[in-house]
Amino acid sequence: MSDPNAGLVRRISRDDLKEIGTIAVEGKPYNIAVAGGSGKVHEHGEDHDHAGHSHGDPKIYAGYFEDAQVKDRPISDYAGDWQSVYPFLQDGTLDPVWAHKAEKGSMSAEEYRAEYEIGYKTDVDRITIEGDIVSFYKDGKPTKGNYAYDGKETLTYKKGNRGVRFIFKKTEGDAAAPQFIQFSDHGIAPKKADHYHLYWGNDRAALLEEVTNWPTYYPSSMDAKQIVSEMKAH
């Protein structure tokens, strides 16, 4: 809904007609036109309609923010024991999520599942982060590395929205551990992550170009039902 006097477009829930967020625009918006689009909220790297927890300011969550708002983040924001959601996609646990998306979006449940099949795909089914030590588990066997902060990069996507990657470089550890890891959790300043997408490899610049595969991790303490509930909540 447009609010010309305030210079805002107000987002209204169609379920209970309550305001769920605002988008600041220039001038006085009287009319709203929707041109094309796939129903996706933003691109991810951020090229998917991301379902998850509440992230405070919905404008920032959607990828619209000022450079001055972006702050360095410590690896402790991502500390904990994390599980990949890819197995839940594979065994059908997340099927209700795709059906839910299809009700509101422009794709079928099968199309959403296919998109997320590419996005979530990974053979690292668990990650633990303790201090500066990151352990990647494949078939129950860990590969470990110590990681130090290596800066942040703000990416601009085709829609015009943006995302921030928080990057860490390996200082020591197993040879098989990646040289770089890049976190994206839709946050742009220090805050404990409640889930995240992780990109890893040995070429820092090449990782920044990856926007179709975004292995996603939720706390290992959450069961499948809780994860489905969180995803469907948004």
> When comparing pLDDT for 38 and 193, which is higher?
193
Computed over every residue of the chain, the mean pLDDT equals 84
Q: Measured in Å, how far apart are the chain's first and last C-alpha atoms?
A: 19
Q: State which fold the 41-232 domain adopts.
A: Lipocalin (2.40.128)
CA dist., res. 211 & res. 109, Å (int): 21
Residue range 51-74: average pLDDT? 81
Q: For the chain, give every domain's residue range.
A: 1-33, 41-232
Residue 50 has pLDDT above 60, yes or no: no
Q: What is the pTM of this model?
A: 0.77
Are β-strands 126-130 and 46-48 bridged in parallel, bridged antiparallel, or unpaired? unpaired
Q: Give per-residue pLDDT as tens, 72-123.
A: 999 999 999 999 999 999 999 999 999 999 998 999 999 999 999 999 999 9
CA dihedral (51, 54, 59, 61) in degrees, to 10, reads -50
pLDDT one-digit tens code per residue, 116-153: 999 999 999 999 999 999 999 999 999 999 999 999 99
pLDDT of residue 139: 94
Q: Considering only CA atoms, which of 53, 21, 83, 61 is closest in space to residue 189?
A: 61
pLDDT in tens, 181-213: 999 998 999 999 999 999 999 999 999 999 999
Query: 17 or 73: whose pLDDT is higher?
Result: 73
Question: What percent of the chain clears pLDDT 90, i.e. is strictly above it?
Answer: 70
